[in-house]
Amino acid sequence: MCPFRAGVCENKNIEELIARLAEKLKYTSGKKQYGYLKAPLKALVNQIVDELAKDERVTELYSSWYEMRNEVLSTYVDKLPPPLPLSQQKEFKSIKNMVIAEALNIGSHHFTFEPDEEQNISIEDDGDITAATTYFEKSAKLGNVNAQYMLGRIYLESDSEHENVEKALQWLGKAADNGNAPAQYAMAKLYLTGNHLEKDAVKAVELFTKSAEQGNQYAQYALGKLYLLGHDVRQDKETAVHWLSAAAAQGNIYAKFLLERMDSFKDPSILLAATRLMHHLGNIFREEYQKAFGNPLIQVDRKLRKKLIEKKLAQGHAYNDHAPHQSY
């Protein structure tokens, strides 16, 4: 469950706050994680998180999460704790370090990728992973280029063990060499970020271009943004417009967003920072829901609460009247 896939989040307050945080972190020594920051910087991070919480989609999700959480808590306590701001809720504390990571990327002019969900592969059950791996491996060895790509992605996303990473690079590289556009895009991202491979911007642009020329909208968008920023390539607005327009024509919302703001003086990475943070937050909400609804202990809690309610009703209590705690 992720409610933030349907559009771009434009929030000028977040743009200003994260730009300020990026600037301040440039002159901050020591470990740049939330727990190590001084109080003024922590307050700034909290302000960004609470600004995210003002979005109506987050408000709705946070309210639903609180309702779910209180359903469990009400089994054990008479008085429920008051709602806390999102920045103060420990279950969502990981978003704070994501805010810091975004600011650091902006401050160091690192290229940022917006979420490209259609490229994601989500296989959560170990049995499903094994079955999928077996199926795609047989097909990949027979030369099926799409199976080679899928197998590479499964190995890349299943975990970060060295052996699986090596297999991922092997199959993604083979698929890319065989002309698979998604594989070319995936390998380009790895070369550009230096993740699992030595950074090679020239190779990355070469692969982005091959993928983009085959119509991959994510590669088209990445190329357009690269040329717009002039990061790792010579800045070229005309080429940027060409590729962003190609991606926008395929419905890429980020390309359309940047084209509409070509004359903005702001770094596109800042313009889209709120969108990336909303995506991260959406993933955290999804994980929290999975922990709750997918956890057998929660089912036990619900059964226990039902029994307690039935017992109270039998004793003449209102269903929402909490019996006093017993001392042991």
Digit-coded pLDDT (tens) for 121-144: 555 555 567 788 888 999 999 999
Close Cβ partners of 253 (under 8 Å, ≥ 6 residues apart): 7, 8
Cα separations (Å) of 100 from 78, 229, 231, 313?
A: 38, 21, 21, 50
Helix/strand/coil for 323: coil
In 55-161, which residue ranges form alpha helices assigned H by DSSP? Answer: 56-73, 94-107, 126-141, 145-158
Q: CB atoms < 10 A from the CB of 70, how many?
A: 14
Close Cβ partners of 7 (under 8 Å, ≥ 6 residues apart): 253
pLDDT digits (tens, 9 = 90+) for 163-205: 789 999 999 999 999 999 999 999 999 999 998 999 999 999 9
For 231, which DSSP code? S
What whole-number distance in Å separates Cα of residue 133 and Cα of residue 145? 15
pLDDT digits (tens, 9 = 90+) for 77-136: 778 888 899 999 998 999 999 999 999 988 888 888 887 754 555 555 555 677 888 889
Residues 32/100, Cβ–Cβ less than 8 Å: yes
